[in-house]
Structure 1
Amino acid sequence: MTDRISIGHLYPNVGSITPVRRSDTAGTADPSAAGPSFQSVLQNSLVKFSHHAEQRLQQRGIQLKPEQLAKIQSAIDKADSKGAKDSLMLLNDMALIVNIQNRTVVTAIDGSSLKDNIFTKIDSAVIIS
């Protein structure tokens, strides 16, 4: 019972194990090397509005509630997962043209202005319920 047990005896198919060495710069790692910062992740998940879209929202008296913004964010995520680039999003009685890659609402149209409109340069449409 004085036999010495080594890793090779317990796990014969495992090669030699090298010890892990800590670098001298263990506490001073570059935070950008670890991945995107929380701020950049947050910015990339929010819906942005172009200056033109903000003007249209004011001109047409459209006010978006937080729950509507959440639905738009969700719709952008779904459209992005399908590979959409520029999407027409219909929400209640309004339409939004959204650049999916930038997560930016480009323009907004209210229900009374929707009639007889033609939407060009879009590759998808999302109906938000």
Structure 2
Amino acid sequence: MVRFINGKPYSVGQFPESNYSNKDNVNRPKSTTSFKDVLNDKINDNGFKVSAHASQRMRDLNLTKEDNKKLTEAFDKAKEKGCKNSVFLYKDVAFIASVENRTIITAVERERAKENVFTNIDSVVVL
């Protein structure tokens, strides 16, 4: 049996020596920040966060940088007016947002929103 490592064939059991050992990681400090948090910070330089629930619903929306810019503007406008919880109407989607936390809590497409009632909302921003 043969395995390929970096494009080179080796017989099973005859792998090359590695310069890496687990001992190298023993004294490294453990990070308290999760990979998910770091990734979200790097990806989401929009000025707002997206909850896990909203993220699931927004997967099929394919938002562009321009869309993200519009949502950032919506947060800024709502904050300027002293809003706490708002609905941002953008294209065919209603984004329910916590303005205080700068977080999109959920997203509801027009077809799904027809019979829904949004509660605890103090404002609507139409984009």
CA separation of 1:71 and 1:121: change in aligned 2, threshold 3 A:
same
Would you say how many aligned residue pairs link Structure 1 and Structure 2?
A: 84
Residue number in structure 2 paired with 1:109: 108
> Matches of 2:113 and 2:47 in 1, distance apart?
26
Contact 1:96–1:108 (8 Å) recurs in 2 = yes
| 1:123 CA displacement | 0.6
Structure having the higher strand fraction is 2
1:50 aligns with 2:51: yes
TM (norm. structure 2) is 0.62
CA separation of 1:116 and 1:99: change in aligned 2, threshold 3 A:
same
Equivalences for residues 1-129 of structure 1 within 5 A = 46-58=47-59, 61-128=60-127
| 1:114 CA displacement | 1.7
> What percent identity do the matched residue pairs reach?
40
Residue-by-residue CA offset, 1:30-59 (whole Å, 9 max, x unaligned): xxxxxxxxxxxxx9961210111111223x
Look at both structures and tell me which one has the larger radius of gyration over its CA atoms: 1
- Unpaired runs of at least 5, structure 2: 1-43
TM (norm. structure 1) is 0.61
Q: Which has the higher contact order (CA 8 A, sep 6+)?
A: 1
